[in-house]
Structure 1
Amino acid sequence: MYACEFWNPSACLFDSSFCFKNYWIYHMLYIRYDVVCMAEKDSLVWDLGGQDRLRTSWATYYRGTHAVIVVIDSTDRARISIMKDELFSLLPNEDLQSAVVLVYANKQDLKDAMTPAEITDALSLHSIKKHDWHIQACSALTGDGLYDGLGWIAQRVAGKATS
């Protein structure tokens, strides 16, 4: 799970950068977060990890969050119910009340992958009424769909972030 907070950094040192269209992704040395520039706004993206032992610390990063990104392994049918439970346990948190939710349906390049429609049903995404949400088919291997998801977030949070 990723928590995204839009901000304006004063100065950062980066070890590499990658540009595609209007997006810049910077990976900072020795720190477990990324600075992403979407639609001329910089954001702090926390990679919170999905292991059981890390989930208890997730709420530490919720304050100021504008978007929650959940990455689903579309081939892992056994764990989809766990992801549903985790998603619905974090959404009521008051620090996430204005956050949008992006679900990446990853590994769509594999033939046994669940479709985004199947994942939508398995996660009961249509029951989410208090948050804007979107499911994006993607492949982390090929990059397909990744920037479409970031673009959706950029459109939804425009104006919500402080300068």
Structure 2
Amino acid sequence: KYCGQNSPQYLKALQQLVQFSNEFIQDKTTLDLAQYAFDRARIITGYESLPVAHCHRSVSKSYITMKNFDSDLFLQHANEAYRIAQDWFGVNDVKLLPFKLTLANAFQAKANNILQQDKNSGKLNYFNEALQLVQESLKTSEELFGTMSFKVAQVHRLISSTYLSKKM
């Protein structure tokens, strides 16, 4: 009613809806909605923009939430989001924190779902990558938010799930 499909406000609303859907609905429509938001972001803002990076994160999270590990698309989208964010913010900026956490989550999901025959080589590599990113994120979170914050608790939860994925 207030803006068309090519409006940045429409894209922001889509991203909010995808985030809600990733957290609470978690079904096939979430993945479709994330993919639609990603396509709209590329049309509206261009291929190397920050909204596209956020949409890459959303698509990656949707694949992981759906446990859709048939291909490495969840890892590709997380890598692409992190790369675009690094181009925008620089390599050591604190604004990279959500992108690092998404990439660490993707590495953890990949390590968790590697076939048994590759267990010794590939799983350990992905686990180490995830652990390194999470440790960097924890340090950044504690410096930025303090040791007693919700964001630090989220990072600790990701660390524990990463360690659990190594044991499985």
TM over 0.5: no
Higher relative strand content: 1
Larger radius of gyration, structure 1 or 2? 2
The structure that is helix-richer by fraction is 2
TM-score normalised over the length of structure 2: 0.29
* TM-score normalized with structure 1 length: 0.30
Answer 1 or 2: higher relative contact order, Cα 8 Å, separation at least 6: 1
